[in-house]
Amino acid sequence: MSIQPKTVREQVTNQIRDDLLSGRFEAGSMLREIELASRFGVSRGPVRDAFIQLSHEGYLAYYANRGVMVRHPPNPEDRKFITAIRQDIETHVVLKGASQVTEESLKVVEVALDRLKAACDAGKATVIALRDVEFHESVLIACGGDDMLGAWRQLCSRMLLTYTRHENYAQTYREHFEIFTPLADNDAKSTVAAIRANIR
Amino acid sequence: MSIQPKTVREQVTNQIRDDLLSGRFEAGSMLREIELASRFGVSRGPVRDAFIQLSHEGYLAYYANRGVMVRHPPNPEDRKFITAIRQDIETHVVLKGASQVTEESLKVVEVALDRLKAACDAGKATVIALRDVEFHESVLIACGGDDMLGAWRQLCSRMLLTYTRHENYAQTYREHFEIFTPLADNDAKSTVAAIRANIR
DNA sequence: CGTCTGTTAATTGTTAACATCGTACCGTAC
DNA sequence: GTACGGTACGATGTTAACAATTAACAGACG
């Protein structure tokens, strides 16, 4: 059921993203294609693709002929604003699409929830942050929010770099479980309420 | 003063984007790397990079091992919502950064305004749409809104595909001139008011 | 007749070599 | 001592060949 990345580009992209989230690369430092290519044992092509992709996701800043730089996390003021926009987008999509959620897409959401639970049990913050976002993403997809996904991802990626809210991992899981339950019943209003309680 | 794209990738990306905006490619159709590469007289590499970039900008949908598809424009309901979010982002950035606008960055805004005026005089809708967005982008950059630029671009790209609002090109220019004037005086509140009147 | 499977053509994915661009360093002139 | 210019190095930009994947089709089998 889980989606294993098949192409080298996806694997490289995911690996670099994980490294960025776990703070392996210092903010403001430059990343070199050759160095990462040799580390992963691939050519520069997929690494280059990953750089373009991660630049558009907001993790890296791209400078022509000079390479990419690790971006700094957003300041508290922007964080607050981004959170509000994110709430608005998820609310909009769920209100519009919760009634059309299919069995199949709901199953994907359930898998995402299980993975989040596993991460919470393990207690690794960076993994939880990833699974958290992936769960919300699956909800948006289930509600047919493909059109908003790009903008939404942009916002989330900026937030991920400073994922520090939860000290209580059990509560993290519970909050998301309470999003899933009403969604499974096609109850848009309750789903939205749970989402707004979770994103803050 | 104008920024000419130097790399082949940028030129290819811009050309494909223009073609998409002017409706040269049918929504839902697939784009092939080889075909576009030979049309532009370049190799598949830059075209591939452009596909990745334009996918992230929201114009194209990417399918692994199968290529990219021209996305459909957003429906009226989503359009309305996107407009609201766009207003919020621009408002946030301008309120926060209008006081720190430098002479240099203001000059870039002025150039963008001139280019918009030229497009309005020429009366070509697709060019006006592009210049319109570029003007707003220059304002955001001038106000230090780099952090929001990615998400903002996502939203705008979706809107551009259905740029049909203005029949009166002179008014299009005037509305943007009225954004520029208070910005030059570091008057955040008036700038925001003009922006909110323009984006609708 | 419908379904399954093997083949094939077309397209994307990846690689390595070559071209081009930016930067740092060093020598020289003032 | 400082400023300017050339040169060398290291990085990204681009290309074309090769590998892997996909989807369509034809033929065999039930």
Q: Is pLDDT larger for residue A1 or for residue A103?
A: A103
Does residue A1 sit within a domain? Answer: no
Does residue B175 sit within a domain? Answer: yes
Q: Which of residues 12-41 of B touch strand C (CB under 7 A)?
A: 30-34
Pairing of β A60-63 and β A67-70: antiparallel
Does at least one atom of strand D sit less than 7 Å from the CB of A6? yes
Rounded to whole angstroms, the Cα distance separating A78 from A82 reads 6
pLDDT at A166 over 80: no
Rounded to whole angstroms, the Cα distance separating B116 from B122 reads 10
Range of the domain at B37: 8-70
Q: Are A130 and A192 in a shared domain?
A: yes
Place A165 in a pLDDT band, splitting at 50, 70 and 90.
low
Region B134-139: what's the mean pLDDT?
Answer: 93
- The alpha carbon of residue B82 and the mean position of all alpha carbons in its chain are separated, in whole angstroms, by 14
pLDDT at A5 over 80: no
Question: Taking all residues of chain B, what is their mean pLDDT, rounded to a whole number?
Answer: 89
* Domain boundary residue, one of B52, B70, B88: B70
Q: Are B84 and B152 in a shared domain?
A: yes
Region B51-56: what's the mean pLDDT?
Answer: 92
**CATH at A158:** 1.20.120.530
DSSP assignment, residue B75? P
Which residue's entry shows tokens 């909009």?
A92
When divided into structural domains, chain B yields a total of 2
Region B183-196: what's the mean pLDDT?
Answer: 94
Does residue A153 sit within a domain? Answer: yes
Does residue B2 sit within a domain? Answer: no
pLDDT of residue A3: 45
Region A68-78: what's the mean pLDDT?
Answer: 90
Region B8-28: what's the mean pLDDT?
Answer: 91
Task: Answer for the pair A159, A74: CB distance below 8 angstroms, yes or no.
Answer: yes
Q: Is pLDDT larger for residue A171 or for residue A147?
A: A171
Place A36 in a pLDDT band, splitting at 50, 70 and 90.
very high
In the three-class reduction of DSSP (H, G, I as helix; E, B as strand; rest coil), residue B135 is classed as helix
Does residue A2 sit within a domain? Answer: no
Task: Answer for the pair B60, B70: CB distance below 8 angstroms, yes or no.
Answer: yes
Cβ of A74 within 8 Å of Cβ of B154? The answer is: no
* Residue A135, φ and ψ in degrees, nearest 5: -65, -50
Q: Are B114 and B143 in a shared domain?
A: yes
Q: Are B57 and B81 in a shared domain?
A: no
Cβ of B64 within 8 Å of Cβ of A7? The answer is: yes
**CATH at A44:** 1.10.10.10
Question: Taking all residues of chain A, what is their mean pLDDT, rounded to a whole number?
Answer: 89
Nucleotide with C1' nearest the B52 CA: C12
Residue nearest D23, CA–C1′ metric: B66
Please, what sign has the CA dihedral across residues B81, A74, A66, A14? negative
pLDDT of residue A1: 36
* Side-by-side strand order, sheet with A60-63: A30-31, A67-70, A60-63
- Mind spelling out the 3-state secondary structure of chain A? CCCCCCCHHHHHHHHHHHHHHCCCCCCCCEECHHHHHHHHCCCHHHHHHHHHHHHHHCCEEEECCCEEEECCCCCHHHHHHHHHHHHHHHHHHHHHHHHHCCHHHHHHHHHHHHHHHHHHHHCCHHHHHHHHHHHHHHHHHHCCCHHHHHHHHHHHHHHHCCCCCCCCHHHHHHHHHHHHHHHHCCCHHHHHHHHHHHCC
Q: Are B81 and B64 in a shared domain?
A: no
B142: tokens are 């001038």
Orientation of helix A44-57 relative to helix A8-21, angle to 10°:
50
Does residue B62 sit within a domain? Answer: yes
pLDDT at B30 over 50: yes
* Domain boundary residue, one of A53, A70, A87: A70
Q: Are B32 and B88 in a shared domain?
A: no
For the segment A42-65, what is each residue's pLDDT rounded down to a tens digit? 999 999 999 999 998 889 999 999
pLDDT of residue B1: 38
Closest Cα in chain A, distance from residue B88 (Å):
8
Q: Are B135 and B184 in a shared domain?
A: yes
Does residue A116 sit within a domain? Answer: yes
For the segment B59-69, what is each residue's pLDDT rounded down to a tens digit? 999 999 999 99
Q: Are A56 and A85 in a shared domain?
A: no
Residue B68 CA and nucleotide D22 C1' are separated, in Å, by 14
pLDDT at A2 over 60: no
Q: Are A157 and A102 in a shared domain?
A: yes
Q: Which of residues 34-63 of B touch A (CB under 8 A)?
A: 48-49, 52-53, 56-58
Q: Are B90 and B59 in a shared domain?
A: no
pLDDT at A21 over 50: yes
pLDDT of residue B60: 93
For the segment B140-164, what is each residue's pLDDT rounded down to a tens digit? 999 988 778 888 888 888 888 776 6
Q: Are B116 and B130 in a shared domain?
A: yes
* Domain boundary residue, one of A20, A40, A70: A70
pLDDT of residue A149: 84
Does residue A31 sit within a domain? Answer: yes
B67: tokens are 């290529």
Q: Are B88 and B173 in a shared domain?
A: yes
Cβ of B154 within 8 Å of Cβ of A158? The answer is: no
